[in-house]
Structure 1
Amino acid sequence: MTYVIGLPCVDVMDRACVEECPVDCIYEGARTLYIHPDECVDCGACEPVCPVDAIYYEDDLPEPLRPYLADNDRFFAEPLPGRDAALGSPGGAARLGPTGVDTELVAGLPPQGQG
């Protein structure tokens, strides 16, 4: 089980969750943030600090945000445009830095907010 970041984060990326995460498992794409499902320890520290209510425990995802569960996994498990290989488990978002890429779901969205 893991936490998932959904649509409300797209083009906002406040990063309060990144600062709160004790295991550095929230990675930065081009337009949104992604929680690594294998690195997340399910502590829930990220959820209450999100100013746009974009973070949910996977079992609590509202139906309209359900596609973001698989999409979050895809960010780490599959090669994305601009990446030759899957990201995998790099062992910490701060060390990796911004990736500059997003999944097709996120990349294909129209502008969402003030980013």
Structure 2
Amino acid sequence: MSYSVNSVLSQIRSYQTQVSNLSVDATADAPVSPALTAGLSEPAPQQPSFTETLRGALGAVNQSQHESGQLARAFEMGDPSADLAKVMVAAQHSQIAFKATVEIRNRLVQAYQDVMNMPL
């Protein structure tokens, strides 16, 4: 295991020296791997914000509950494609997702209250 970690670290160090040599000696005629130069000219992709991540998670929970409700209604109406096992799995999935969302909300509120009650 340590051999593979050391191998990866040595590869990272060699790539770092190649990139630093590339930036220092830009006029050299030595061939450079396209993999090394691919990320240099492109800006780093922007990570989604906390708000966007939270909004996406809440949307996924809402979608899960909506699909569960539709599947339950289809089962009640006698749709042959909606069997009881699918309805129960969808209901449990949406219930677990909702409970997880409520728990996350509770922990965020608790963390906010802890921060607000900190002495200055």
Do both proteins adopt the same fold according to a TM-score greater than 0.5, normalized to the shorter chain? no
TM-score (norm 2): 0.22
Greater relative CO, 1 or 2 (CA 8 Å, sep 6+): 1
Structure with the higher fraction of residues in strand conformation = 1
Structure with the higher fraction of residues in helix conformation = 2
TM-score (norm 1): 0.23
